[in-house]
Homo-oligomer: A and B are copies of this chain.
Amino acid sequence: MSTKKLQVGVAGLGRMGKRHALNFHQNVPRATLVAVSSPDAAERQWAAENLAPHGVTVYESYDDMLAHKGLEAVCVASATSVHAEQANKAIEKGKHVLCEKPLGTTVEVSQTVVDAAAKRPDLKVMCGFSRRFDASYRDAHAKMQQGLIGRPAILRSQTCDVLDPSGFFVAYAQFSGGIFVDCSIHDIDLALWFFDEETTKVKSVHAVGITAVEPDLRKHNDRDNAVGTVEFYDGRIAYLYASRMMAAGQEDSTEIIGTKGKLSVNLLPAENHVKIYTPGGIRQELPQTYWDRFRAAFTTEAIEFTESVLEDKPLPVKLASAVAAVKIGAALQESMIKGNKIWFDEQGNRTEKAQL
């Protein structure tokens, strides 16, 4: 085993960028965080105080960071709308890339990253679907593969954020691609993973949504609660729920139902092992954010990405599946807004209505 360390830069220092930067700095023994970039002065100030003392260079310009001497890999954690552009630039400069999900808000944009990566097989380019690195989801997937539940037929999955009354989600919706591309993309990726992304083909999608707490989302063609159904040609169904309205905390649950059994992941979320008994009952607290729930998964993701680069091992998640997920997510978003059910033929092209 080499003792060499990977020189990593993080692009974007917003909510997720800060976390990725600290994660690479503190939790990935074989990586060294050498640079970060952000066009936002307040974010750079945070980095100046928290990262610069540890030898991390802080850039305003992403391009400048790419030119940082010795930089080998980039973690793209900026706004979704620039994910693809930044990933492509990094590939062009010969950097390995770990890109936050989704690659882009449309299939076309997402595909550009896959195309760019295809020209540089020497580089490791991965889209970070954090749940694939979570110990519980991995355990469930392994149990499924061992045949514990027979053939998986139905997947129910949800990504539900805690209510944020500050209006954050309205501003965020302008660039997020919408609730199905931003939240449900995780659940769609799980469906592709558990149903076998190599062979399963989407047949139809349908979605509905409401604005129960944030009517202003409608001006960005988005909703705060949405339910989607994805039908596959091999006789499987995934049905999804996404919400920005949870009162108790982050609730990301999944059920995989097979012909001989079922696996559930995180059906009753809990912050830790404590239960509180007071008048009114027994209570357990919940993680409040996606990061709180998947903190360890993000660390595993960064460690395995780093290891894959240093040891030139295959990446744990194929890049192409990120495009497949965006394709489904964007179609669900469109179905929700327009009200139509959307059909695909077996080649993946849109069609009027599939043969039943």
Contact = CB atoms under 8 A, between A and B. Distances in A.
Interface of A: 1, 3, 26-27, 29, 53-55, 135-136, 139-140, 143, 148-149, 151, 153-154, 156, 204, 206, 208-213, 225, 227, 229, 231, 235-237, 239, 241, 243, 245-249, 251, 257-286, 338-341, 353-354, 356
Contact of A278 (B29, B212, B260, B275): B260
A143 B237 contact: no
Nearest to A154: B225
Q: Which of A26, A140, A246, A248 has the most CB of B within 10 A?
A: A248
A249 B154 contact: no
A54 B3 contact: yes
A250 B274 CA distance: 17
Q: How many chain copies does the complex carry?
A: 4
A202 to B, nearest CB: 12
Nearest to A224: B153
Contacts of A279: 247-248, 261
Nearest to A26: B29
Chain A at the B interface: SS class? mixed
Contacts of A3: 54-55
A281 to B, nearest CB: 4
B285 A241 contact: no
A353 B338 CA distance: 11
Contacts of A340: 341
B246 A262 contact: yes
A206 B229 contact: yes
Contacts of A261: 247-248, 276-279
Nearest to A293: B273
Given A154-B227, A278-B261, A356 B339 contact: yes
B260 A247 contact: yes
Contacts of A208: 204, 206, 229, 231, 237
8 contacts: A136-B272, A136-B273, A154-B225, A154-B241, A225-B257, A227-B229, A265-B273, A339-B356
